[in-house]
Amino acid sequence: MSLPLRAIVLIQTQPGRGVDQRAAFATLAPVVRAEPGCLRYDLHAVADDPDRFVLIEEWASAEALQAHDASEHMREADAANRAFRAGPAEVFLLEPAPVA
């Protein structure tokens, strides 16, 4: 049995465009959360910066994450995000077990 995969995604929007990120996520999140293998898909705003966000993802398997990344709704979201994001999101895949 494999351990779930976790990812931390750092998102920066263009100045004043954090509201667009929130709206896009509100539309996308229910679709992603319904995907097979999605265990967690939560967007958090950075406390002192309304244009920065941290997305926390957890997937049951590498295959589930790969299917998510290849889905049509994610391709469409990635294309739409370019209108309000400052650049590409920074993605960190975490080791399955904590260091300490």
10: pLDDT strictly greater than 70: yes
Task: Output the six-digit token pair for 17.
Answer: 């465009």
| Cα-based torsion angle of the residue sequence 37, 71, 9, 7 in order, rounded to the nearest 10 degrees | 30
Handedness of CA 36, 24, 95, 69 (dihedral sign): positive
Is 54:11 a contact under the CB 8 Å cutoff?
A: yes
> CA-to-CA distance for 24 and 7, rounded, in angstroms?
19
pLDDT for res 97: 81
> CA-to-CA distance for 52 and 10, rounded, in angstroms?
8
pLDDT for res 96: 83
> CA-to-CA distance for 20 and 13, rounded, in angstroms?
8
pLDDT for res 98: 84
pLDDT for res 1: 60
pLDDT for res 2: 74
Rounded to an integer, the average pLDDT of 7-36 is: 98
pLDDT tens digits for range 29-81: 999 999 999 999 999 999 999 999 999 999 999 999 999 999 999 999 999 99
